[in-house]
Structure 1
Amino acid sequence: MSKVQYQCSMSLDGFIAGPGGDMSWLGELELESDPATAAIVHQVGALLIGNNTFRGDDPNKGTESEGAYGGQWTGPSFVLTHRIPDTPVPDVTFVSDLETAVAAAKEAAGGKVVSVLGANVAKQLIEAGLLDEILVWITPVLLGDGVRLFDHPGGTNIKLEVLDMTGPNMLMRVVK
């Protein structure tokens, strides 16, 4: 059965994007040189992407590395949005309901990982009890401001269990 796994790069001070969702800082890093990171794309069967991430700031835009996993991703993508476009996008399905999006992505993944991209959709999955794991690449940069890995005004306590720590990667299971 497919796992739903939030995957992201995070600055040491806890941000996955800079102010306004700026992702240009990722273009300066060489994450693809890490063998564990390069292997991740082969474990993914489908993407579940937040609307802001889908329409956001790709640090590789306009290059051959544009797109998820530095342009290495090909396969089904599901975008969670309330603004479904009139014009279809190849290999992208737009879904307005969280549970429907998860079910469709899991089916399309065929037993492989459903990779979640986007802080807001990951937060929704955590709150709905639908997120299985979090995979974070801790990057050697301090951003000082921006989009947090997980933001819950007023605070909350989500229990995680560390499954693996390899190089800059940390894999955690969400304790339900």
Structure 2
Amino acid sequence: MAKLLYSVTMSADGFIAGPGGDMSWLTEHLGADPVMDELIAGVGALLVGARTFGGDDPHRGDPEREGAFEGEWDGPQVVLTHRPPAQPVTRTTFLDDVRTAVEAARDAAGGKEYVNVLGADVARQCLELGALDEVLTCVAPVFLGDGTRLFERPGGTRVGLERIRQWHTPRTTNSWYRVV
């Protein structure tokens, strides 16, 4: 069964998107990373939130780099939403229940190691369900000051993480954790 991995690049002050979901800040902090190449090869499906699915791809319009993992990944995605589009989207399933979406994404992963979770709210819901296995944070050396936080839960709840791996690239400092 594929593990659920929440992977994200965030600012040093903990934001994964700027105000209004702006992702343009991200482009200067992306680049070659052999560990990410290994990850991409192990991702069988994406579990994506509606805002992320319809959001601001920092490479939108660039056919070489548009899409998940700068266009390096291609495969099925499950979108968690209460408002699916009227027209079908190729290789995309729209569901409105997190438990059903997790099961569908794991099935869609086709025996690969990971379902990659994209979207802070979906990650929080997976964590509350007890389904989130790992978290990969790539910290970019920039303050955004406002936007979407990496993890936010009203009332606060401590979530234990155990570091599995840590490495640096010229553009980010990266930590991979197991949820405990």
TM over 0.5: yes
Question: For 1:39 and 1:54, how far apart are their aligned partners in 2?
Answer: 23
Which residue is 1:130 aligned to?
131
Q: What's the CA shift for 1:85?
A: 1.4
Q: What's the CA shift for 1:39?
A: 2.7
Identity of aligned residues (%): 56
Which residue is 1:147 aligned to?
148
Question: For 2:33 and 2:102, how far apart are their aligned partners in 1?
Answer: 29
Question: Is 1:44 equivalent to 2:40 in the alignment?
Answer: no
Moved over 6 A (4+): none
Q: What's the CA shift for 1:78?
A: 0.5
Which residue is 2:117 aligned to?
116
1:40 partner letter: L
Question: For 1:71 and 1:106, how far apart are their aligned partners in 2?
Answer: 21
Question: For 1:28 and 1:80, how far apart are their aligned partners in 2?
Answer: 29
| Structure 2 unaligned residues grouped into runs of 5+ | none
| Superposed counterparts of 1:1-176, under 5 Å | 1-29=1-29, 31-64=30-63, 65-112=65-112, 113-167=114-168, 168-175=173-180
The alignment yields a C-alpha RMSD, in angstroms, of 1.1
Higher alpha-carbon deviation: 102-111 or 6-15: 102-111
Question: For 2:156 and 2:46, how far apart are their aligned partners in 1?
Answer: 28
Q: What's the CA shift for 1:28?
A: 2.1
Question: For 2:31 and 2:76, how far apart are their aligned partners in 1?
Answer: 22
1:6 partner letter: Y
Question: For 2:71 and 2:9, how far apart are their aligned partners in 1?
Answer: 16
CA contact (8 A) 1:48 1:101 kept: yes
Question: For 2:40 and 2:142, how far apart are their aligned partners in 1?
Answer: 23
| Structure 1 unaligned residues grouped into runs of 5+ | none
Question: For 2:178 and 2:124, how far apart are their aligned partners in 1?
Answer: 15
Question: For 2:28 and 2:163, how far apart are their aligned partners in 1?
Answer: 28
Question: For 1:5 and 1:157, how far apart are their aligned partners in 2?
Answer: 18
Question: For 1:39 and 1:139, how far apart are their aligned partners in 2?
Answer: 20
CA contact (8 A) 1:24 1:59 kept: yes
Cα distance per residue 1:13-56 (max 9 Å; x no partner):
11111111110001222x23222123321110000000000000
SS in 1 for 2:136: strand
CA contact (8 A) 1:80 1:96 kept: yes
SS in 1 for 2:162: strand
Count of paired positions: 174
What TM-score do you get using the length of structure 2 for normalisation? 0.93
CA contact (8 A) 1:132 1:173 kept: yes
CA contact (8 A) 1:48 1:105 kept: yes
